[in-house]
Amino acid sequence: MDRPVAIGIGSGSVWVLQVNGVVLRVDLATSRVLARIGTASGATSIAVGEDSVWVVNRLKETLTRVDPATNQAAAPIDLGGKPSSVAVGEGAVWVRLDGS
């Protein structure tokens, strides 16, 4: 396992983001790894909500959505700036960009 950098909880799982961009989905009841989902290396933060898992990548300047129903990552969204964190609430995904 690569070094974990962030965790999130939702959809019956713990979501562990590793520095290499791999998201581990761990079952809350059994502690078993259910899935390993690839995103780009350089990922920095994860949030769970709005029926998705959200990963920001500082190096690539992107936001990636992971679908818990399929354990698949969608194509990354270019943010045009260096994200440091992500949160979900009020029907939206919130990303903090450095300098904002």
Give the global pTM.
0.93
**CA-CA-CA-CA torsion sign (87, 91, 93, 99):** negative
Domain that holds residue 90: 4-97
CA 10 – CA 33 distance, rounded (Å):
15
Instruction: Record the tokens describing residue 97, joined without a space.
Output: 């960009």
Count CB atoms within 10 A of the CB of residue 49. 18
The pairs formed by 29-36 with CB atoms below 8 angstroms and a separation of 24 or more are 34/71, 35/71
Structural domains of the chain, count:
1
Tell me which amino acid residue 80 is.
G
pLDDT digits (tens, 9 = 90+) for 47-86: 999 899 999 999 999 999 999 999 999 999 999 999 999 9
CA 69 – CA 62 distance, rounded (Å):
22
Is a pLDDT exceeding 70 seen at residue 1?
Answer: no
CATH label of the domain that carries residue 61: 2.120.10.30
